């Protein structure tokens, strides 16, 4: 699950799990957060690029019906977004590395020079 189509939903599921365990939002879920697809991947990018004292994070949480979130909640949500994005990048890199290494082995080469083309909204708009 590395596509921009899924990253927001992965974050939402992590937030649900953390809230259910009482680690976020004082254990209180909002109905909006329970809605599949409500946490858009663009939110993840906005949160990752937030440098203004977590204002963007708080705004998104309010949009999701989490009006009583704390500063600690915002920090943890930002960390979840960062970890999910980093994980996706690492999985993508690992997959590419495996394919390139297999091509190199099949050609019986000591090394293989390649160029990787990248496109897409997530690549263009995500701050990291």
pLDDT in tens, 89-123: 899 899 999 999 999 999 999 999 999 888 777 66
Q: What does the alpha-carbon distance between residue 7 and residue 40 come to, in Å, rounded to a whole number?
A: 8
Output the CA angle 118-121-123, nearest 5 degrees. 45
Report pLDDT digits (tens) over 49-69: 877 668 889 999 999 999 989
**What pLDDT score was predicted for residue 1?**
64
Q: Where are the domains of the chain?
A: 4-125
29 class by beta-carbon count within 10 Å (0-12 exposed, 13-18 middle, 19+ buried): middle
Domain at 4-125, CATH class: alpha beta
Number of helices (H), then strands (E), in the chain: 5, 0
**What pLDDT score was predicted for residue 123?**
67
């Amino acid at each position: 699950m590395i596509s921009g189509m899924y990253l927001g939903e992965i974050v939402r599921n992590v937030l649900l799990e953390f809230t259910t365990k009482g680690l976020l939002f004082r254990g209180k879920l909002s109905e909006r957060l329970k809605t599949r697809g409500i946490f858009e991947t663009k939110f993840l990018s906005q949160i990752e690029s937030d440098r203004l004292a977590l204002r963007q994070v708080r705004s998104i949480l309010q949009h999701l019906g989490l009006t009583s979130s704390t500063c600690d909640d915002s920090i943890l949500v930002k960390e979840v977004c960062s970890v999910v994005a980093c994980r996706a990048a690492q999985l993508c890199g690992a997959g590419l590395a495996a394919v390139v290494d297999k091509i190199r082995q099949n050609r019986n080469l000591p090394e293989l020079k390649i160029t990787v083309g990248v496109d897409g909204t997530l690549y263009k708009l995500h701050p990291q």
